[in-house]
């Protein structure tokens, strides 16, 4: 690993010099961005374009993107989303989520993604309605890693102390930008993540 690291860095720097990514200021210092492109016309979204995803039945995404960086925040695994949801995620991270963690005197640098596109029913329960995940409208986030090394985990920190307060603020800040926000208080399926989706309801956002 020690031998590979400098070589990897060299390859990254070499590749970076030729790519357009280098022209986006936020990503100049972000490792692992080589080969990634701006998505959905949004300079805060970096990843790969996928095109249409055709799933079984009603499942699928038109003009899907695979997002790897959101407003400079690395996703632990690429998230397959539609552009509306990817843009909402970028705006939320930039405007609301970073503000929610400000109290900890650091910034979010990585988000642990537990799920994005998946052709399945709600909570994978038989007979339940189609999940927003099946349409590219949803992302599940299990943890937020800060630049100072602190980790805010839904499973470990929700409801407890200083980090718990910040997690509540994060949850609340997503309500509005996203049409549905579910956390540990919603049901037993969400004990370890925030479910964020862009489905819209006439009654406004549903957040629990």
Of 26, 1, 83, residue with least CA distance to 49: 83
Q: Pick between residue 68 and residue 140 the one whose CB is nearest to Zn ion.
A: 140
Q: Give the contact letters, 82-121, x = binds to Zn ion (CB under 5 A), - = no.
A: ----------------------------------------
Rounded Cα distance, 42 and 70, in Å: 10
CA 202: distance to chain centroid? 25
Rounded Cα distance, 139 and 197, in Å: 6
Pairing relationship of beta strands 108-115 and 73-81 according to DSSP bridges: parallel
Q: Shortest distance, CB of residue 108 to Zn ion, whole angstroms? A: 19
Secondary structure class of 172 (helix, strand, coil):
helix
Burial class (CB in 10 A: 0-12, 13-18, 19+), 183: buried
Q: Pick between residue 36 and residue 138 the one whose CB is nearest to Zn ion.
A: 138
Structure tokens at 170: 């994060």
Q: Pick between residue 40 and residue 138 the one whose CB is nearest to Zn ion.
A: 138
Whether the Cβ atoms of residue 143 and residue 152 lie closer than 8 Å to each other: yes
Binding-site size, Zn ion (CB under 5 A):
3
Site membership for Zn ion, residue 140 (CB under 5 A): yes
Site membership for Zn ion, residue 68 (CB under 5 A): no
Q: Shortest distance, CB of residue 38 to Zn ion, whole angstroms? A: 26
Containing 90, the helix (H) or strand (E) segment is helix 83-92
Stretch of residues binding Zn ion (CB under 5 A), selected from 27-35, 99-107, 140-148, 157-165: 140-148
Q: Pick between residue 69 and residue 178 the one whose CB is nearest to Zn ion.
A: 178
Whether the Cβ atoms of residue 64 and residue 74 lie closer than 8 Å to each other: no
Q: Angle at CA 114, nearest 5°, toward 126 and 163?
A: 120
Site membership for Zn ion, residue 195 (CB under 5 A): yes
Q: Shortest distance, CB of residue 180 to Zn ion, whole angstroms? A: 9
Stretch of residues binding Zn ion (CB under 5 A), selected from 51-59, 94-102, 151-159, 189-197: 189-197
Stretch of residues binding Zn ion (CB under 5 A), selected from 40-48, 53-61, 163-171, 188-196: 188-196
Site membership for Zn ion, residue 190 (CB under 5 A): no
Stretch of residues binding Zn ion (CB under 5 A), selected from 18-26, 62-70, 134-142, 146-154: 134-142
Structure tokens at 71: 């407003």
Footprint on this chain of Zn ion (rule: CB under 5 A): 138, 140, 195
């Amino acid at each position: 690993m020690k031998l590979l690291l400098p070589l990897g860095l060299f390859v990254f720097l070499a590749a970076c010099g030729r790519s357009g990514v280098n022209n986006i200021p936020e990503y100049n210092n972000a490792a692992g961005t080589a080969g990634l492109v701006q998505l959905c016309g949004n300079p805060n979204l970096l990843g790969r374009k996928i095109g249409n995803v055709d799933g079984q039945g009603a499942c699928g995404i038109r003009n899907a993107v695979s997002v790897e960086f959101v407003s400079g925040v690395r996703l632990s695994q690429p998230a397959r989303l539609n552009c509306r949801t990817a843009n909402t995620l970028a705006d939320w991270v930039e405007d609301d989520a970073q503000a929610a963690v400000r109290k900890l005197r650091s910034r979010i640098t990585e988000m642990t993604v537990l799920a994005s596109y998946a052709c399945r029913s709600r909570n994978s329960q038989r007979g339940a309605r189609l999940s927003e995940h099946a349409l590219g409208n949803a992302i599940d986030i299990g943890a937020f890693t800060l630049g100072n090394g602190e980790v805010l985990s839904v499973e470990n920190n929700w409801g407890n102390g200083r980090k718990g307060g910040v997690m509540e603020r994060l949850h609340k800040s997503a309500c509005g930008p996203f049409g549905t926000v579910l956390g540990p208080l919603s049901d037993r399926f969400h004990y370890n993540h925030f479910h964020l989706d862009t489905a819209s309801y006439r009654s406004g956002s549903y957040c629990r």
